[in-house]
Structure 1
Amino acid sequence: MSRLPQRIVCLTTETVEVLYALGEEQRIVGISGYTVRPARARKEKPKVFAFISGDIEKILAVKPDLVLTFSDLQADISRDLIKAGVAVHAFNQRSVEDILMMVETVGRLVGAEERARVLVSELETKIAQTRSAANQRIVRSGRRPRIYFEEWDEPMISGIRWVSDLFEIAGGENVFADLASLAAAKQRIVDDPQEVVRRAPDMIIGSWCGKHFRPERVAARAGWAAIPAVRDEQLHEIKSAVILTPGPVAIEEGLTELSALFDAWANRYHPAQFSEGRH
């Protein structure tokens, strides 16, 4: 008789993504309404919760033997589920290394350790290849692009640690790296918009969770015309479902998008070095 969980509810998209990648999706009996990856999960699995709100009775109705949650943002529902007698595992990944650890832990929870190790190995290969290509770009161009990442606009919130990690791997530099290790969004608020002007990023990347990034609004902020990124029209969007999801997608797709942006930046401002590097 298997003692592994058979009826799992995933209240964040990244654990759904991992279980599908491991071929263990049959264990999932409920997901968050914000699940986006894989797309088929939204058709196959019942939505039993939003992200920080919903009816606990919908979760209990699917009779889970394990619920997977994320961080203090889901502390209340985790508490209520535990009080209701449900086993809960709360993840709290904040860095790229934490994402890899999360994948391995999910694998252990469902008895798919070897498949999880294979997945992690594939992600590590992606990281190594991206870093190698980035190092070559840096040698040719002479420097890394400096990035301001905006997670939200009102108030202005800078990027969390795994986003900063992705920048470093892809060959960029987070101008607010000093804030990236702070877990709570309110701790990463940029109180003074002129501080972005002073830090002079070469590129601004927006990922306003839940709404479209509006580069024209960013460019129109008082004094921001002096920022190199604004002056050179280097304002870009990466979807939050890609870069703000602390799961494999951030590595598989997030790094690819960042590398393309950084390559284009380097080729635009240092074309001679890139031409020399090709011959």
Structure 2
Amino acid sequence: MTRAKDISMLATLARAAALAAFVCAPVCAPGAAFAAEEERLVVAGGVLTEILYALGAQDRIVGVDTTSLHPPRALEEHPDIGYLRALSAEGVLSLAPDRVLATDAAGPADALDLIRQAGVDVEILREEPTEAGVLARIREVGALVEAEEAARALADEVAAGFAALAQARATIEAPVRVLFVLSLQNGRAMVGGAGTSADAIITLAGGENAVSGVDGYKPVTDEAIIAAAPDVILSIGRGDHALSPDDVFALPAFAMTPAAAERRLVTMDGLALLGFGPRTPQAAAELMKILHPEAVIAPVIAPLLRAEATR
């Protein structure tokens, strides 16, 4: 209980500081008073940050988590509240937010509870790696920040992208088998099975998940990798820590897969590939072109970050 009282006091002090900034805004920064009147948002979840920027609502953000990698300037423009799954109530409340927008992967739960006890609204938005889930999340964020018209326009653009993908998938006769590898630890592969965002993006791109019999993200044996017989290995880029063909195909199990013949390892931006946000149709189209060069893909409408044109 003592910690909760400390958190409440911290929130009160932070809000007092925010109020003081508002009072002096007309004198200290002409025009800033209008921005100060808007709700102060802390965002925990890269896909939510991406949507807010796409809606032109980034000026309401006062803090983001480390998964907020798109647009790249998001982490440069706003304080960093730490990793999505390891949030600090004190760190969040020090930014005097009116509301926290978070995906259901955010935590720990006790930190979120302390933030609520301090009187800050915490909105949890469900992560659902489906076309309907993407469109619903865009509209939900738009409603929360009173940007419904922009959200409708963005959702329409994204829906058009999904429609173009569906047409392209209909032209694919033999889906390529894809194995998504999240990580390699001590030579053991953590792969994406059924029910994962990796499985969903492979399907959107017209591929076939080589480990559809596995549920969730799980480590698998060498025998399972060989039996999966993937034509392509898919992973996410992590800068200097991204997997390379040498990392993957030097391992005996991967060396015995069809993918090894041409060392077919595809790495893509993690948030675009697995985030299931506004860029999902583009990520799926890019993957489809790699897996199925013969596929006829109509121009996929790119949901542009509207704020980019005005900043």
Common fold by TM > 0.5:
yes
Q: CA deviation at 1:209?
A: 5.6
2:87/2:106 contact within 8 Å kept: no
Give SS of 1:126's match: helix
Q: TM-score, normalised by structure 2?
A: 0.73
User: Which position in structure 2 is the counterpart of 1:10?
Assistant: 43
Do residues 151 (structure 1) and 182 (structure 2) align? yes
Q: CA deviation at 1:208?
A: 6.3
1:5/1:65 contact within 8 Å kept: no
1:49-88 matches, within 5 Å, as: 49-76=82-109, 77-88=111-122
Matched letter for residue 122 of structure 2: V
Change over 3 Å in CA distance of 1:177–1:135 after alignment to 2: same
Q: Which has the larger radius of gyration?
A: 2
Of 134, 154, 160, the match for 1:125: 160
- Percent of residue pairs identical: 26
Higher-helix-fraction structure: 1
Change over 3 Å in CA distance of 1:88–1:226 after alignment to 2: same
User: Which position in structure 1 is the counterpart of 2:11?
Assistant: none
Unaligned runs of 5+ in 2: 1-36, 297-311
Do residues 257 (structure 1) and 286 (structure 2) align? yes
Matched letter for residue 148 of structure 1: L
Q: TM-score, normalised by structure 1?
A: 0.81
Give SS of 1:164's match: helix
Q: CA deviation at 1:5?
A: 7.0
62-71 vs 33-42, which deviates more? 33-42
- Looking at structure 1, the residues matched to 92 and 108 of structure 2 have their Cα atoms a distance apart, in angstroms, of 15
- Looking at structure 2, the residues matched to 218 and 135 of structure 1 have their Cα atoms a distance apart, in angstroms, of 32
Of 277, 292, 296, the match for 1:247: 277
CA RMSD of aligned residues (A): 2.4
- Looking at structure 2, the residues matched to 179 and 114 of structure 1 have their Cα atoms a distance apart, in angstroms, of 41
Matched letter for residue 178 of structure 2: I
Of 81, 95, 105, the match for 2:129: 95
Q: CA deviation at 1:166?
A: 2.0
1:69/1:78 contact within 8 Å kept: no
Give SS of 2:220's match: coil
Q: CA deviation at 1:92?
A: 2.6
2:181/2:235 contact within 8 Å kept: yes
Q: CA deviation at 1:177?
A: 2.6
Q: CA deviation at 1:100?
A: 2.1
Q: How many residues align?
A: 253
Q: CA deviation at 1:18?
A: 0.7
1:89-238 matches, within 5 Å, as: 89-96=123-130, 97-136=132-171, 138=172, 142-154=173-185, 155-159=188-192, 161-179=196-214, 182=216, 188-207=217-236, 211-238=241-268
Unaligned runs of 5+ in 1: 183-187, 268-273, 275-279
- Looking at structure 2, the residues matched to 17 and 224 of structure 1 have their Cα atoms a distance apart, in angstroms, of 35
2:202/2:209 contact within 8 Å kept: yes
Matched letter for residue 87 of structure 1: D
- Looking at structure 1, the residues matched to 189 and 253 of structure 2 have their Cα atoms a distance apart, in angstroms, of 15
- Looking at structure 2, the residues matched to 45 and 196 of structure 1 have their Cα atoms a distance apart, in angstroms, of 42
Q: Give deviations 1:138-175, integer Å, cap 9, x for gaps.
A: 1xxx3010100111222522226232222222211111
Q: Which runs of 4+ in 1 moved over 3 A?
A: none
Q: CA deviation at 1:245?
A: 2.3
User: Which position in structure 1 is the counterpart of 2:32?
Assistant: none
- Looking at structure 2, the residues matched to 118 and 224 of structure 1 have their Cα atoms a distance apart, in angstroms, of 44
